[in-house]
Chains A and B, each alone.
Chain A
Amino acid sequence: MAAAENTTTGTGTPEVSGGVVDTLGLKPDVFIAQLVNFLVILFVLWRFAYKPLLKILEDRSAKIEKGLADAERAAAHLSEIEAEHKAAMAETRAEAAAIIKEAHAKGDAKRDEMLASSREEIARLVADARKKIAEERTGAAEELKKEISALVVATVSEVLGEKIDAKKDASLMERAIKKASRE
């Protein structure tokens, strides 16, 4: 160290005087050259490296953030749609079930109604037929009565008008019956 000091200060350089400044090698031209050197580096790094890279970093993080937000929104949207879909399906199913049920009920009612009406019809027809049969029977009976009485009257008068014997009676009877059956 002493040797070094001897070489720089010992002989006394003419351009810079003053012990400490000289010993430490402070020279205005070197100082300024170093300062300018650093400022140039600062400027170039600023323009070429810091500015573009920090912008890229910022843009990228913004992009990623946006992508994440978008994905989240899409997921929320999807689940919303799914829920909607599910609700719609459930509603449709319920509606379909209701329609089927109603159709069943309607069909049952119709069938019951038809059964009832046909039963009624049958009952009416049966009653009609019965009535007709009864009417016809009474009619026939009366007619038969009338016929028989007429026959009896005719037979009696015929018998009373002629001489009655067994043979005559039989033929008379036969005639009367034939007459009656013809009529």
Chain B
Amino acid sequence: MLVPLAAEAITHIGALTVTNTLVNAWIVAIILIVAATVIRFTARAGAPGKFQNAVEALFEILLSTFDSVTHDRNRSKKFFPLVTTLFLFILLNNWLGQLPGTGTIGIWKEIHGAVEFVPLLRPATSDLNVTLALGILAIFSTHIFGIVTLGFFRHANKFLQFGSLVKSFKKGPIAILTAVIEFGAGLIETAGEFARAISLSLRLFGNIFAGEVLMTVMLGLFAYGLPLPFQALELLVGIVQAVVFSMLTLVFLTLATEPPHGEHADHAEEHAAAAHH
């Protein structure tokens, strides 16, 4: 029996369907929250302890990596919470899939009249609900950051360039033509935002789900020794996908907080025009 694409329901709490991926997400939440709480109550400014030291080292590495994308320490710090949480959450979820018992410990449950085996644990990132939630949140955040740094209209003008179109009418036919083309480009950009969210989600989901299927197949073929190299591979895929997701989010955040294209040129033209008059 292969892993179904959809996460399987284990039980219901009120209106909420508790799926096996939700159980994994909760485990990751508990791990991260406990770690954060430990940090909160043991962190000190003097010589750090072992755990604090490790976390500090991780944060330093992440910050300097972010700097290489943003080229600006302040922006790196602004994006740090979201991108780091995405990274840690995805990484832990991916790796938790390699924990023994994932996909193998489960309950027998009657679904649609047939009794089926339902595993209790399944990596949350192999559930499209999770990856889509993360992808949409990531892209949504880029727009929030864009609006906060650039202002609503300047940010919106990157996508629906009504402002540039109206301005171009004062400048003559060629400017209008350019503005119309840029308006079309803006529409493509708008569609691109949805594509970004979906591609982020599907990439992560596809990789981790494929890993789960692969592990199930290998375990089914021969359970001793054979899955080991694939497990090592899955650990690699886990960190690569976590890095890809968070770094892409960082790149989108950086792009969203940069002033729109051609704005400089516009200003320069306006200045020149003002000087002529």
Please classify the interface of chain B as helix (H, G, I), strand (E, B), loop, or mixed, using the class held by over half of its residues.
helix
B3 within 8 A of A: yes
- How far apart sit A11 and B112, CA to CA, in the bound complex (Å)? 7
Out of A4, A25, A33, A50, name the residue touching B81 (CB < 8 Å).
A50
- How far apart sit A7 and B81, CA to CA, in the bound complex (Å)? 40
CB neighbours (8 Å) of A31 from chain B are 129, 132-133
* Given A7-B111, A34-B22, A59-B45: A25 touches B7 (CB 8 Å cut-off): yes
Chain A residues in the interface with B (C-beta under 8 A) = 1, 3-5, 7-8, 11, 13, 22-27, 29-31, 33-35, 37-42, 44-50, 52-54, 56-57, 59-60
> A53 touching B56 by the CB < 8 A rule?
yes
CB neighbours (8 Å) of B116 from chain A are 7
> A52 touching B85 by the CB < 8 A rule?
no
Out of A8, A24, A56, name the residue touching B128 (CB < 8 Å).
A24
> B6 touching A25 by the CB < 8 A rule?
yes
CB neighbours (8 Å) of B39 from chain A are 48-49, 52-53
> A52 touching B2 by the CB < 8 A rule?
no
> A37 touching B26 by the CB < 8 A rule?
yes
Out of A13, A49, A56, name the residue touching B36 (CB < 8 Å).
A49
CB distance from A133 to the nearest CB of B (A): 107
Out of B77, B85, B129, name the residue touching A41 (CB < 8 Å).
B85
Q: How large is the interface on B (under 10, 10 to 19, 20 to 34, 35 or more residues)?
A: 35 or more
Closest to B4 in A: A4
Out of B4, B48, B137, name the residue touching A7 (CB < 8 Å).
B4
CB neighbours (8 Å) of A54 from chain B are 59, 77, 80
Closest to B3 in A: A4
CB distance from B4 to the nearest CB of A (A): 4
> B44 touching A44 by the CB < 8 A rule?
no
CB neighbours (8 Å) of B114 from chain A are 7
- How far apart sit A5 and B6, CA to CA, in the bound complex (Å)? 9
Enumerate 14 A-B pairs (CB-CB under 8 Å) in ascending A order.
A7-B116, A11-B112, A24-B128, A25-B129, A30-B19, A33-B16, A34-B22, A34-B130, A37-B29, A44-B33, A45-B36, A48-B39, A49-B35, A57-B60
